[in-house]
């Protein structure tokens, strides 16, 4: 999943939010598939974020099929409850891209900057990147 997001980001010339970690496998249709070691991955990233100072913009994107198997420490659960850390369970690439790029995917080939989107970050002028992201996702065969 991370590799596909990085590839689309590079093709579209749209930066990826560096406050968000992503894990998971993806099939040929862009659907998220489960992975192992998820609790350890989340706890490791959370530990780094905690050391750097939780700011409410950090989080982890995980495959939705893994969500039912989570068994996280109380520190992480408290941070999520206090909105200092997020865990997003996604069904596919179309769910990950808005979180990582600050562009809302409308499913019709057009994308729009939206600074209020959960996990959004300010990355400068993203308005001109919308057609590129649309083209990159289309080229990847995910629409």
Half-sphere exposure of 26 (CA within 13 A, CB side): 22
Give tens-digit pLDDT for 47-57: 999 999 999 99
Give tens-digit pLDDT for 79-90: 999 999 999 999
Give tens-digit pLDDT for 57-101: 999 999 999 999 999 999 999 999 999 999 999 999 999 999 999
**H or E element at residue 33:** strand 32-33
What are the backbone angles phi and psi of residue 140, rounded to the nearest 5°?
-75, -10
Task: Please state the domain extents for the chain.
Answer: 2-139
pLDDT at 104: 73
The architecture CATH gives domain 2-139: 2-Layer Sandwich (3.30)
Residue with structure tokens 């069904």? 91
């Amino acid at each position: 999943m991370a590799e596909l997001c990085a590839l689309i980001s590079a093709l579209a010339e749209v930066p990826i939010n560096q406050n968000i970690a992503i894990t998971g496998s993806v099939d040929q249709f862009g659907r998220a598939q489960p992975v192992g070691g998820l609790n350890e991955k989340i706890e490791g990233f959370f530990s780094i974020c905690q050391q750097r100072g939780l700011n409410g913009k950090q989080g982890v994107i995980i495959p939705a099929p893994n969500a039912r198997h989570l068994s996280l420490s109380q520190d992480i659960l408290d941070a999520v409850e206090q909105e200092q850390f997020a865990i997003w369970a996604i069904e596919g690439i179309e769910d990950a891209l808005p979180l990582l790029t600050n562009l809302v995917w409308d499913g019709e080939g057009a994308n729009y900057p939206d600074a209020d989107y959960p996990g959004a970050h300010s990355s400068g002028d993203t308005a001109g990147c919308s057609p590129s992201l649309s083209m990159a996702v289309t080229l990847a065969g995910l629409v």
